[in-house]
């Protein structure tokens, strides 16, 4: 049984920082890209950050320069370091492991709430 578990969310003041973690377990093989998505109430799910199996990273324009995605391959864990947080970053954040080559497959975490408010 494949499982992704996010942690690290919470309440933080504007300008503060949080680090989200996503730990994967089970038979997760041949992952091409690992992602962080977020979805705020009434809004579409958006891709925040991605890291490929080769280490290439990309970010949404709204978080570029503030967020950093990283991975710990030996533990099947990814992180999202979030700095200079803004109220508009408030959302539920989801980690995602995605296989594209050789057959599309998505694995999702349950989500962790991030609230940025004074």
Q: Residue 50's beta-bridge partner residues?
A: 35, 58
42 DSSP assignment: T
pLDDT at 85: 98
pLDDT at 75: 65
- CA nearest to 80, candidates 105, 41, 118, 47: 47
16 DSSP assignment: -
pLDDT at 27: 83
Show the tokens assigned to 13.
């003041």
Mean pLDDT for back-to-back runs of 10 residues, the chain (118 residues): 94 98 89 96 96 94 98 86 98 96 93 97
Quick check: 97 and 4 in contact, CB under 8 A? yes
């Amino acid at each position: 049984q494949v499982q992704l578990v996010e942690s690290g969310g919470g309440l933080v003041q504007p300008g503060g920082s949080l680090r989200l973690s996503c730990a994967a377990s089970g038979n997760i093989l041949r992952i091409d890209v690992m992602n962080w998505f977020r979805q705020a109430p009434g809004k579409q799910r958006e891709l925040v950050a991605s890291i490929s199996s080769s280490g290439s990273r990309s970010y949404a324009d709204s978080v570029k320069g503030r967020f950093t995605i990283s991975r710990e391959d030996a533990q099947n864990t990814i992180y999202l370091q979030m700095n200079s947080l803004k109220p508009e970053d408030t959302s539920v954040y989801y980690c995602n492991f995605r296989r594209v080559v050789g057959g599309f497959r998505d694995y999702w975490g349950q989500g962790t709430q991030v609230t940025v408010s004074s």
